[in-house]
Structure 1
């Protein structure tokens, strides 16, 4: 029996306000000393294949919450189901749960702008009774959602007070002076969907003028606004895409927050509005928001918006009064303590001393905690992913990239890599099988151990498809294939082998039903054994997509790095100790000479290297999440680092690893340099590296633009589609 104080059931892939609200409540629960368990259900509102929201992932890593996977029973004092649609679509995936109270939190509109219902409350009631043996309490975020629930009828037990979003107002505080420019600067931050903008051209321009009388700043994209305007966006508008700037940083640069949407859209609460208030930015809203924010905001119909904006701009005292009142309201009515109080009232839990990890921040995202292997509760066919033990984590990361997108399957990972705990961070089950080197054994003595362990996994998991990622299929695979003929077997085999090496290994393709070759940006320069070998070739594979990376400000904050100035990433791992030490020392010296702060990685699979006290040391997995923190990089040219750094826009000096057994890092790095995408050198020297860093700082954006122009997209999607098609073809 797994026991927690609070059990949160939701789709933890949600972006924007929903994820932020879940994360704030988890933080509040941890601050009260309560344990939190998370059960993830894939809901219908997140159509895109993606991983957990980074904020939730961080909290799993630092111990604020615990991911509960599998069918073992769970007991909780109170269970929170955030958004009824997740239960509507996947309640059969829940393990047995014993709980004193179930609360269904309705944090978005029940009625879509076209009039369609997102869910049926009566059906959700029935599902809760079936799964928990209790009648749930319904918790609308606002009076607007409460009205929808009441209008729906049925036997719904509504909580007395709305389940308002909460916020840590201190973390949103910014130093903000009253408007001083010649014209007001107004802004808004939201996802770029049509419902989040006024639907009529006149109303949109009343809120966000085109005549230059105000400067309009938009965070979140404005394609929907352009569709309404029927032309290019006005010159007086500045637009940033969703996730490209930290909201707190954005709010510091505006005078007034103006938020107007399609009048048919019922905004459940408006977390973006609360964030603006916590930052001390006066807010102008449609009158329908008054039941939520009362006198903490200003209200106007479209025709009167600009008069309110102008009055704030010309009256400094008024601006300051509204700003401070907004901050005070955020602290008083929407603090984390509000959430602690309501949990206490509903469950009887008493706040106690916070447990270890409950309030950690800063480097917390870099401390990885895995999830033990366990049998999942759903009925999808099983996908077994087996990775070899390379000197880095490329094999493992590729398999995770496939698994995240192969939603047709239930994945389980078996790895010889000591970094396998990274799998648990993405909510997948895993187990570790030590390699021959890890056990200090010769390969012939170790082989029976490998065959026995993988055979036991095959009998227990009973996969429909097995994917092995490595350049050297172990002999035990042939034996396992003969004793376990039911699964389809797939070899994921990276290219760019050193010329003249390991050609005999390609004969082992006969053991597999299919061979996938993850593409390489430098494939045109590949002259190794795989260049002409039969395979299904897909675009280059990365674990993440660009929209999953943190903004520059957020990445630096999470890593504990300075928010200002230029920072270089130095990333050498998996090489000989003397090489890594020499290259790192020279890179540090060169970075100092061009005025860069230095951040060095220490991979879980790399040797420790002594570093100066003023060098920042990080170990986040996956590193790409934080890549926007860095202005330039000096890196080895392994498959993962090469493709992540180029695909996600970091100007890079590649230093090929000198002792690579098979991976042709030198040819990969030289090919990219020949295209003008990056720079490369055989080794790092202080005198030789300084001018290269200067060139990257001056021309790096031009180099990266060339990569963006030819990037065919993430091949992980193609691999997932191939695996699904193979299985469906078999069945």
Structure 2
């Protein structure tokens, strides 16, 4: 017997009631969102009841994909204790019901489905739920005995003996997917060698535990390129070594999964053999995108002919066979897409719901279609901005390229701080250090660069254009600022798609002579070019010297008034209250190797009785930290520069101007390996003016006398630099951005 669809207009009277912890960042919430869309398109109403379950420890908002369905009107979030009536109740994840059922409102229904998203026990024997207990709780709260719906064969086997006889559905409650939304056009191989990839959470059970198996399926010899989305620390522990250069690893959520899959030739997923992989939604996404999936044979029962199956020792041969026959590769990919659509498409979900309630006579053709494809960079994506009101502050989108350090990102933060409160900053960065933006309270997203993704530039530039276009459509900025020396080819594409915002190129000078001049023609892509000044401008011989631009003073994130005092700075950084201290800021190096710059600086300071402080990124993996060397971790570290008596620093734009502006006696060591930035000119100019000392490279013998002089006369030298400082150019740059935004708003 089926229950007719509810006929009242009460918002708490729905056809399908989905109960889950709606904060889940991964596959569970993605599946709920897909099912909501399928139900709405079929004409059913959907209600959502959120339970704070035991499996999400962080404070999170409702998953953004589910929020999007609610905003579109495809589902109602039912809050409070008022009664709810539903044609069928679908509980996703038994552990949520077992541990949080007391949060439920009164619910009347004739059908309850408990979807078993995972096995009751994990790989370590920890029990997440007890099926008999969940069954009893469901019967108590809903008044009807539930049916159990495992999402795959392995979960079915794991609960078979623990659920009441006759309570299990005959068919698995497989995840569903919109194949069209995930489809990717591939016009050739991703690289000169095969690119294989995997996407999963950074958990040991998600990786093979045997080194020989891991190396068989994810080669470490460079014969293929291995791309990982989700982190690979467990793999590094299994290998017992640093990950090879042929692996490109991104943290979970760093790149939209669809974009990651677009850069692969094969999706290869092998895990700990003791782990019960409940379903493998990332596999489904890969197949829907049109990339062949190579899997262990136990997945055949779930995915059938949609995937390719191989024992670990046969994976390389399988890849080589398909790589050598493009036509066969395409047949495999097409079969994967077709079978995914047939078995895991939205219609499959509609059919299983009709076993409980009648299908509406007329489907709701007007139901908004919301793509269920994660697009933002974070696991818990920020809520999309409501752009319906004309009273909000104009928004400022700041895009940083991925330089060798943090200069581009820090410069944009300098603008953002001064543009407030007139503008509302948002950051989209190619820097893996973009997380520091959160400490300033600004929304941020990460867009991996070509190097981080391992993608060829011709494939990456369309990804850049799509991602920036999506961000602009979502936040509706008045002004977009790109900071970098090489504007990406996707920018004109984005401007054509979204002609509204004004674009600004933030382009520092002091380029090496005869370098990059062809990039200056790209100024035509922008409405305004801002050039942050350089204290070494008199030695600028680069292409930007005569190029048109709105020039401002040297830009730093902080001003001298932002710095803490000496005692407070040392306390915050955990440094000794007494005695001389030096900051060594030269990039990575071995503290104990005096043949390198870092080791030579530490040795020279030690000979002078000065303790050295290094940032964590400077410590080579094999290097132990001596007792007289302190590790400092803070951003921005410049806020606490008064903790130090002297510094040994490279001459990147940020560090050069911060040390001079804030009066720190400094020995500069230019990085002669930079492609464009004329770091030698900076250190030479500062030394010529008597502001600092410089050395092209360090040895203990050459560094010691110069550091000794800085300890004695350094404050006098640094004072000359402070006196010559024209002031921070960040406020002037921010004023230009505010003026440009006001023009957009009034036009």
Distance in structure 2 (CA, Å) of the matches to 1:678 and 1:109: 59
Match of 1:614 in 2: 499
d(CA) in 2 for partners of 1:43, 1:327: 35
Match of 1:638 in 2: none
Distance (whole Å) between structure 2 residues aligned to residue 176 and residue 572 of structure 1: 30
Contact kept in structure 2, 1:183 and 1:214, CA below 8 Å: yes
Measured in 2, the distance between the counterparts of 1:678 and 1:174 equals 44
Structure 2 match to 1:505: none
Distance 1:632 1:56 in 2: 38
In the TM superposition, what is the alpha-carbon distance from 1:247 to its structure 2 partner? Answer: 1.3
Distance 2:262 2:353 in 1: 33
Match of 1:60 among 53, 66, 70: 70
Q: What's the offset of the Cα at 1:179?
A: 3.6
Q: Could you report, residue by residue, the CA deviation over 1:92-148 in whole angstroms, capped at 9, with x for unpaired residues?
A: 111111112110001122221123322111111111111110000100011111111
CA distance in 2, matches of 1:221, 1:263: 19
Pair 1:563-2:461 in alignment: no
**Separation (CA, whole Å) in 2 of partners of 1:258 and 1:52:** 31
Q: Any gaps of 5 or more consecutive residues in structure 1?
A: 370-389, 395-494, 499-538, 554-559, 574-582, 601-611, 618-630, 635-652, 656-663, 691-731
Alignment of 1:261-660 (within 5 A): 261-350=271-360, 352-354=362-364, 358-360=368-370, 365-366=384-385, 549=445, 563=466, 614-615=499-500
Q: 1:345 to 1:545 in 2, by over 3 A?
A: same
Deviations 1:526-559 (A, max 9, x none): xxxxxxxxxxxxx98777887xx58689xxxxxx
* Residue 91 (structure 1) shift: 0.5
CA–CA separation in structure 1 for the residues paired with 2:559 and 2:108: 54
Q: Superposed, which structure 2 residues align to 1:181-200 within 5 Å?
A: 181-200=191-210
In structure 1, what is the equivalent of residue 182 of structure 2?
Answer: 172
* TM-superposition CA deviations, 1:42-69 (whole Å, max 9, x none): 1111122221211112222222211111
- What TM-score do you get using the length of structure 1 for normalisation? 0.55
Distance 2:528 2:88 in 1: 47
Tell me the SS of whatever aligns to 2:159: helix
Structure 1 residue matching 2:160: 3-state secondary structure: helix
Name the stretch that deviates more: 107-116 or 276-285: 107-116
Instruction: Find out whether 1:224 has 2:234 as its counterpart.
Output: yes
Query: What is aligned with 2:169?
Result: 159
The Cα shift of 1:71 comes to 0.4
Report SS of the residue matched to 1:346. coil
Consecutive unaligned residues in structure 2, runs of 5 or more: 1-9, 376-382, 396-416, 421-436, 450-462, 503-525, 530-549, 553-557, 564-637, 640-653, 662-727, 742-747
Looking at structure 2, the residues matched to 242 and 47 of structure 1 have their Cα atoms a distance apart, in angstroms, of 17
Counterpart of 1:76 in 2: which secondary structure?
strand
Counterpart of 1:679 in structure 2 is 730
Figure out how many residues of one structure are paired with residues of the other and give that number: 460
Match of 1:92 among 92, 102, 110: 102
**Greater relative contact order (Cα 8 A, min sep 6): structure 1 or 2?**
1
Pair 1:365–1:182, CA change in 2 (3 A): closer
Whole-angstrom distance in 1 between the partners of 2:254 and 2:216: 27
C-alpha deviation, 1:569, in angstroms: 7.2
CA offset at residue 327 of structure 1? 0.8
* CA radius of gyration, larger in: 2
> Structure 2 length normalisation: TM-score?
0.54
Query: In structure 1, what is the Cα distance between the partners aligned to 2:734 and 2:24?
Result: 43
Partner deviation per Cα, 1:600-646 (whole Å, 9 max, x = no partner): 9xxxxxxxxxxx983069xxxxxxxxxxxxx9999xxxxxxxxxxxx
Distance change >3 Å, CA 18–CA 315, structure 1 → 2:
same
Q: Secondary structure at the match of 1:75?
A: strand
Q: CA deviation at 1:176?
A: 1.5
Q: What is the alpha-carbon distance in structure 2 between the residues aligned to residue 140 and residue 148 of structure 1? A: 9
User: Cα–Cα, structure 1 residues 686 and 7, in superposed 2: closer, same or farther, change >3 Å?
Assistant: closer
2:217 maps to: 207
Change (3 A) 1:594 1:285: closer
Query: What's 1:121 paired with?
Result: 131
What is the rounded CA distance, in whole Å, between the counterparts of 1:543 and 1:679 in structure 2?
19
Taking structure 1 as reference, are residues 351 and 338 closer, same or farther at Cα in structure 2, changes over 3 Å only? farther
Distance 1:678 1:219, change over 3 A: farther
Is the CA contact (8 Å cut-off) linking 1:88 and 1:127 kept in structure 2? yes
**What CA deviation, in whole Å up to 9, does each residue of 1:225-244 have, x standing for no partner?**
11111110011111111111
- Secondary structure at the aligned position of 2:353 is classed as helix
Contact kept? 1:571, 1:633, Cα under 8 Å: no
Q: Contact (CA 8 Å) 1:33, 1:358: kept in 2 or not?
A: no
For 1:103, what is the secondary structure of its paired residue? Answer: strand
Q: Distance in 2 between matches of 1:236 and 1:561?
A: 23
Q: Structure 1 23/263 Cα, relative in aligned 2: closer, same or farther at 3 Å? A: same
Q: 1:317 Cα shift?
A: 2.1
3-state SS of paired residue (1:44): coil
- Find the aligned partners of 1:365 and 1:120 in 2 and give their Cα distance: 38
